[in-house]
Structure 1
Amino acid sequence: MKQFEEIKTLLGESNTYYLIAVDMNANYSYLNKHYAEIFEPIHGNLVGKHYAITMHHDDQQTCKVVSQMAFMYPESIFPATLRKHDGSGGYIVTRWEYKAMFDSLGAPSGIFCIGHDITELLKISGELHQAKEENAHAVRLHVANIMGLGKIIQESTDAKDTRDAAKMLVQSAVDLDDVIRSLYK
């Protein structure tokens, strides 16, 4: 418990991190200022309420398993990603680290968790992945055209076919250059 008190001193007023404690009955026993500011307007005063009130139903099993692991291995910290109700029908995606708490006699007394909102990070990550896929396709399209036209030029015996392929090759290179320039804008 002393360990948790030190962390409360450090993160109790945090504007970035959530810090919560849950007792052995799975009820909130502590919330830092940031967690209270975000989730109490949605659910009311949470101290004394079951932890599951704030989260997506499907994530409750994750909490249970991670909590069990924290008690089985009390020297370790265990991560979990959980969706919390945002009050508008959607979810705030949060990332947590769980640590078991024990009283002065060594008996389990609860779990404390440090977490933060990763919703925006996941959104941006998804957008970057989509942009990467789209850009890779756009670049590969022109590279494939250039390679194919180069093969036609290599194998061509007709000067007109070679000139036509060369014109298309130049156009594909211009198109590829446009794609590359748009990537840097």
Structure 2
Amino acid sequence: MNHYPQINHFLKDSLFFYTIVIGMDSRYAYVSKNYDRNFEFSGGTLLGEHFSVTLHPEDIVICEQTGGACFQSPGKLFAATLRKHDGRGGYVTTQWEMQALFDEQGKPDGVFCIGYNITEFVDTRSRLDSAHHQLTEIGYIQSHMVRKPLANIIGLTSLIRQESTEERVKDLCNMLEKSAGELDGVIKDISDKTD
């Protein structure tokens, strides 16, 4: 498994990247310090443990499929997004690239993996998607549910002004119609920004 000694050496103390090698027996043949620090819970090392001990149970099949693809297309990198135990009963989201390793005789020797934590990115994207959905709902409410009664108020104001003979009522209707028109413009501007 000495195919990636320079990469492993370069990243062995990385605080951001994890490097691991999964042997043909599905066990960790190499784990970087950062990987052990983040995912090993007994204070020892994951070296020699089955690769699945760190994974969300639903993601084990993703690893198996991606590892198989690595051997079907040697030399090609394959990506996988995997949830890993966070040590507190939850999971972090990690992004990986994997490539098959072969020994000197060309026989499969394991899978080299380099990954990093993308939990913050995933959480931020989720919050942005939620905010976008809320803005879309607000835009719909403003353009369809608020502007309709406002248009009715503007129309009723016009009818009252036409029916009234008193100048004071007509002046009040003009002021009411002007204010309602300004409010309608503000609502339209907000609705346009949320589309």
Aligned to 2:105: 105
Is 1:139–2:139 an aligned residue pair? Answer: yes
Contact 2:154-2:180 at 8 Å conserved across structures? no
Give how far 1:45 is off. 1.8
Contact 1:76-1:99 at 8 Å conserved across structures? yes
Aligned to 1:72: 72
Q: Distance in 1 between matches of 2:67 and 2:21?
A: 12
Aligned to 2:81: 81
Q: Distance in 1 between matches of 2:15 and 2:57?
A: 27
What is the root-mean-square deviation of aligned Cα atoms in Å?
3.2
Give how far 1:117 is off. 0.8
Is 1:158–2:164 an aligned residue pair? Answer: no
Is 1:171–2:183 an aligned residue pair? Answer: yes
Q: Distance in 2 between matches of 1:42 and 1:121?
A: 28
Give how far 1:150 is off. 6.5
Q: Distance in 1 between matches of 2:94 and 2:42?
A: 16
TM-score by length of 1: 0.81
Aligned to 1:52: 52
Consecutive unaligned residues in structure 2, runs of 5 or more: 163-172
Q: Distance in 2 between matches of 1:142 and 1:151?
A: 15
**Rg comparison, structure with higher value:** 2
Consecutive unaligned residues in structure 1, runs of 5 or more: none
Residues 177 and 42 of structure 1, relative CA distance in 2, 3 Å threshold: farther
TM-score by length of 2: 0.78
